[in-house]
Chains A and B, each alone.
Chain A
Amino acid sequence: MPAMTQIVVRDTPVDLLRDGSGPPLLFLHGAGAGGRWLTFQERLAARFDVVAPSHPGHGASPAAEWIEHISDLAFHYLDLLDTLGLARVHVVGASFGGWIAAELATMASPRLRSLTLIDPVGIKVEGWIYPFLFGMELPELVATVFHNPMSALALAPPDMSIDTLAILYRQNTALARVAWNPYLYNPLLRRRLARIATPTLLCWGAHDRLAPLVCAEAWRKEIPGAALRVFEASGHVPHLEEPDAVAAAVIEFCADRGEAR
């Protein structure tokens, strides 16, 4: 695992993991995965310069009171790219991070070399209402998010100390600020997805119970030319459940467009 570094993005401190070499790739993590460097990032680092910040209030990044809306997070990451001097990057976002990545792509598509969304949330899909994770206890949460519950161990908290519980509460709070109501989506985003002019790969777990395949179809319909890859042994988090296969899909997708090393 690379060393954690702290940078400041327009007065907002951000903890960052960065490793690998090749074209820069911004990885936006899902809820509960801040500050983690897992197999998926490791595989990508073989081909890319992987930049993995923790969202404000997640991992070791302090909460930022100014963030009130999901678009604030997207602008925050545009600021982060400016701070790091990265003109054009690959962007990979998972779940909540996929939502941020999609918002960002609607704003600044030309700055993206490619966009990979892994089981993103963020849009309203007819006939589907996302199950309310905030009300779930751990067993139900794991059963909703993971197809293979053993993969959840990668995100297990180190202990149940007051500090750990306070950090989990802070992460949930940061998520709730932008995602409690409307729950896990921005009503304005769906129509804007047509603005994404970047080659886009959708990676989806076949057994996602939070955002099932009907959601994938909606995303594919809205983003021009988006490709969809389905991972048969995964639930909502294929990059944790089948990290090698998903990393290979990202690398292949970028290579086909001459964008990987």
Chain B
Amino acid sequence: MKFYYFHLMPYVLDHDEPSSWVTFSNAHYDPAVGHTLYHQYLDQLEYAEHLGWDGICVNEHHQNCYGTMPSPNVMAAMLVRRTSRAKIAILGNGLPLRENPLRIAEEIAMLDVVSGGRIVSGFVRGIGAEYYSTAVNPTHSRERFYEAADLILRAWTEPGPFPFDGRFYRYPFVNPWPRPLQRPHPPVWCPSQGSSETVEWAAQRRFPYLMVFTPLKRIAQIYGEYREACQRHGYTASPYQLTVNLPIVVAENDRKAETIARRHAMWVYHVGLRMRPPYWQPPGYTTEASLRRLLATRGKMPTELTYEDLEDGGYIICGSPATVRDKLRVFSDELKAGIVCSGMNGGSHEATLEMMQLFSEEVMPHFREDAAVDETVGIGR
């Protein structure tokens, strides 16, 4: 199994506002605190490479305290020159959120060339709230996503210049310099929460599917749908196409891990993901069929999840090294996920570094049957 260290770069604070997104005033953001946080978070990502993680992940979110990385490519650029071995997974760029997605093709190509071909390029739509904060029309979201992805993939693989004439994006000359180093292009991942349209789209293109913050039961179901779709397209999914993103809390013993998780992992759900209901599903962001499915299952809102829900539902992995190993076995042996992306939060920078070290010494070595395999060969392209 491969391990990627994931970061949201949250601006952790408590507040009573109805939403941590869109309308939560940036007057609450203290840039001096932000300065310290960014450096700690980047140190953690660099430390992950030092400890043996296979990859490090950044991602894109806008106008909130949950994740302060509006430009993941900027963060990736900082990491490229400070690391030398780990893959750098950019989970995502939010393609439809850009007015000029050719810029994404250019930026990823730059990063890929400078890093010597270590970039993984996530393609996402952005979550509902981001259509409020960028003003992009959510009814265009899916179509813009497909069109931008098509443009970027062609820009990476077809010799330029060529014209591109889409519904949303039009260029008389597509001819980005540089071209990416990896051939035919950097692996593309699809982080998603399980919409059947995205599953199908990713499977057809052999793009790994990454389940983000989803309960275990649903991961199993979506993985099943993804594998089926791969079969339908005439191939068997590699384990490295099945990726999961979930927080891991590890400590000397279960009790201590639970104490940390209750204090720090819950913040993500109860504060970080607190938002006004309309922000989850802006009009047209979801197809009517998907909306009906969602309404029929009526899962809890993140703010309604209790610690027990997270623990029992498999939203998080928490415990002593032995417990964490057992729980990870469910992902490696039963779900047959090939890559685990996980962030950690020990409550302070130093405690987080200690937790990372404990995990790298007591957990990771037990999952290294595939140490010699490059998880990106022939995957995601």
- Evaluate contact between B288 and A135: CB separation under 8 angstroms: no
- Evaluate contact between A170 and B288: CB separation under 8 angstroms: yes
- Evaluate contact between B137 and A135: CB separation under 8 angstroms: no
- Evaluate contact between A173 and B139: CB separation under 8 angstroms: yes
- Evaluate contact between A134 and B283: CB separation under 8 angstroms: yes
**What chain B residues lie within 8 Å of A137 (beta carbons)?**
276-278
- Evaluate contact between A176 and B139: CB separation under 8 angstroms: yes
Any B CB within 8 A of the CB of A180 = yes
Q: Of B278, B295, B296, which contacts A134 at CB under 8 A?
A: B278
Helix, strand, loop or mixed for chain A's interface? helix
- Evaluate contact between A162 and B295: CB separation under 8 angstroms: yes
Any A CB within 8 A of the CB of B94 = no
**What chain B residues lie within 8 Å of A132 (beta carbons)?**
132
Residue of B nearest to A140 (CB): B276
- Evaluate contact between B132 and A177: CB separation under 8 angstroms: no
Given A137-B276, A180-B139, A181-B135: A175 and B291 within 8 A (CB)?
no
- Evaluate contact between B137 and A176: CB separation under 8 angstroms: yes
Q: Whole-angstrom distance from the CB of A172 to the nearest CB of chain B?
A: 4
Any B CB within 8 A of the CB of A166 = yes
Given A169-B283, A176-B283: A181 and B137 within 8 A (CB)?
yes
What's the Cα separation between A170 and B281 when bound, in Å? Answer: 12
- Evaluate contact between A177 and B276: CB separation under 8 angstroms: no
- Evaluate contact between B276 and A169: CB separation under 8 angstroms: no
Given A176-B138, A180-B137: A166 and B22 within 8 A (CB)?
no
What's the Cα separation between A177 and B138 when bound, in Å? Answer: 8
Any A CB within 8 A of the CB of B136 = yes
Number of residues in A with C-beta < 8 Å to the partner?
A: 18
Residue of A nearest to B23 (CB): A135
Q: Mask for A121-141, Cβ within 8 A of B = 1, else 0?
A: 000000000001011110000
State the total of A-B contacts with C-beta under 8 angstroms. Answer: 54
Residue of A nearest to B18 (CB): A137
Any A CB within 8 A of the CB of B292 = yes
- Evaluate contact between A172 and B277: CB separation under 8 angstroms: no
- Evaluate contact between B284 and A173: CB separation under 8 angstroms: yes
Q: Of A166, A175, A183, which contacts B288 at CB under 8 A?
A: A166
- Evaluate contact between B292 and A135: CB separation under 8 angstroms: no
What's the Cα separation between A180 and B132 when bound, in Å? Answer: 10
Q: Whole-angstrom distance from the CB of A123 to the nearest CB of chain B?
A: 19
**What chain A residues lie within 8 Å of B286 (beta carbons)?**
169
Q: Mask for A248-259, Cβ within 8 A of B = 1, else 0?
A: 000000000000
- Evaluate contact between B278 and A136: CB separation under 8 angstroms: yes
Residue of A nearest to B286 (CB): A169
Given A134-B283, A176-B137, A180-B139: A166 and B278 within 8 A (CB)?
no
What's the Cα separation between A135 and B135 when bound, in Å? Answer: 11
Residue of A nearest to B278 (CB): A135
Q: Whole-angstrom distance from the CB of A233 to the nearest CB of chain B?
A: 29
What's the Cα separation between A175 and B139 when bound, in Å? Answer: 10
Q: Of B23, B283, B292, B295, which contacts A172 at CB under 8 A?
A: B283
Any A CB within 8 A of the CB of B178 = no
Q: Of A135, A165, A166, A169, which contacts B132 at CB under 8 A?
A: A135
**What chain B residues lie within 8 Å of A180 (beta carbons)?**
135, 137-139, 283
What's the Cα separation between A132 and B137 when bound, in Å? Answer: 13
What's the Cα separation between A183 and B283 when bound, in Å? Answer: 14
- Evaluate contact between A135 and B279: CB separation under 8 angstroms: yes
What's the Cα separation between A165 and B294 when bound, in Å? Answer: 11
Q: Could you give 5 example pairs across A and B, Cβ below 8 Å?
A: A134-B132, A176-B137, A176-B138, A176-B282, A181-B137
- Which residues of A come within 8 Å of B, CB atoms? 132, 134-137, 162, 165-166, 169-170, 172-173, 175-177, 180-181, 183
Besides A162-B292, A172-B283, 5 more A-B contacts (Cβ < 8 Å) are A135-B22, A169-B281, A173-B284, A176-B139, A183-B135
- Which residues of B come within 8 Å of A, CB atoms? 22-23, 132, 135-139, 276-279, 281-284, 286, 288, 291-292, 295-296
